[in-house]
């Protein structure tokens, strides 16, 4: 048997403290959930706009690349492509939002060099390179946001589960325990008061 169910003043104090902590925990978790939901909704809207922008930039980039293939020749464009160094400009760190670790993606623009001589190219290829670099930046930003959305959504579900447990299980449990013990103790006090009054009357009668 749960010892906290015994109707004692000590158990009443324990139950009241547990109830207060449960209510405080619920308020804090509910506040956290609301903040995370607000952040999530903002990110979802931003991700939608980024998706649209990325599609537009990729369309422009491939159009410019087609123009470069026509003007320079596919073989020349391929040779220039082989000269482009391996991607190493993307860096990832983490930032905390209400205890949730969110990835922050940054691109070192110093590493974003053309990787080929400009004498071999023309305006169309330069435009294509710029557009693909822009698409890379936007894609990195979108990856950051989508990852953040996933982590926030996961934490929101976890937080909601905990708030529901507090609201629907723990808080009612401690409210019932507190009420039960209080009623029992009050009844004992009334019985003790009646007993003392009776003893007093008997003493007065016999004196």
Q: Which string of DSSP letters, residue by residue, matches 8-55?
A: -HHHHHHHHHHHHHHHHHHHHHHHHHHHHHHHHHHHHHHHHHHHHHHH
Which of 104 and 3 is assigned the larger pLDDT?
104
pLDDT band at 81 (very low <50, low <70, confident <90, very high): confident
Per-residue confidence (pLDDT) for residue 160, from 0 to 100: 95
75 in a structural domain: yes
Average pLDDT over residues 6-10: 87
Q: Is pLDDT of 54 > 90?
A: yes
1 in a structural domain: no
The answer to whether residues 122 and 81 touch, using CB atoms and an 8 Å cutoff, is: no
**Per-residue pLDDT tens over the stretch 159-173:** 999 999 999 999 999
pLDDT band at 177 (very low <50, low <70, confident <90, very high): very high
Average pLDDT over residues 192-204: 78
pLDDT band at 2 (very low <50, low <70, confident <90, very high): low
Per-residue confidence (pLDDT) for residue 198, from 0 to 100: 80
Instruction: Count up the domains in the chain and report the number.
Output: 1
3 in a structural domain: no
Average pLDDT over residues 25-42: 94
CA distances in angstroms from 131 to 73, 111, 150, listed in the order given: 19, 16, 28
Segments forming the whole domain that contains residue 111: 10-200
The answer to whether residues 145 and 48 touch, using CB atoms and an 8 Å cutoff, is: no
Which of 141 and 193 is assigned the larger pLDDT?
141
CATH number assigned to the domain comprising residue 66: 1.10.287.3240
Average pLDDT over residues 11-21: 94
Average pLDDT over residues 125-139: 89
Per-residue confidence (pLDDT) for residue 13, from 0 to 100: 93
Closest CA to 121 of 162, 178, 83, 157: 83
206 in a structural domain: no
């Amino acid at each position: 048997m749960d010892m906290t169910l015994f109707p004692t003043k000590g158990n009443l104090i324990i139950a009241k403290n547990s109830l207060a902590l449960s209510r405080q925990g619920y308020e804090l978790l509910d506040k956290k959930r609301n903040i995370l939901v607000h952040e999530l909704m903002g990110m979802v809207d931003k991700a939608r706009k980024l998706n649209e922008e990325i599609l537009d930039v990729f369309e422009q980039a491939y159009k410019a690349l087609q123009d470069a293939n026509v003007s320079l020749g596919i073989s020349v464009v391929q040779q220039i492509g082989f000269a482009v160094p391996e991607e190493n400009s993307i860096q990832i760190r983490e930032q905390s939002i209400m205890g949730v670790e969110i990835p922050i993606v940054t691109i070192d623009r110093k590493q974003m060099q053309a990787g080929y001589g400009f004498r071999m190219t023309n305006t169309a290829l330069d435009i294509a390179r710029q557009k693909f670099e822009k698409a890379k930046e936007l894609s990195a930003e979108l990856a950051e946001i989508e990852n953040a959305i996933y982590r926030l959504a996961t934490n929101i579900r976890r937080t909601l589960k905990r708030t529901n447990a507090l609201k629907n299980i723990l808080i009612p449990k401690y409210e019932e325990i507190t009420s039960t013990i209080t009623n029992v103790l009050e009844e004992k006090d009334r019985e003790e008061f009646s007993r003392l009054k009776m003893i007093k009357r008997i003493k007065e009668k016999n004196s």
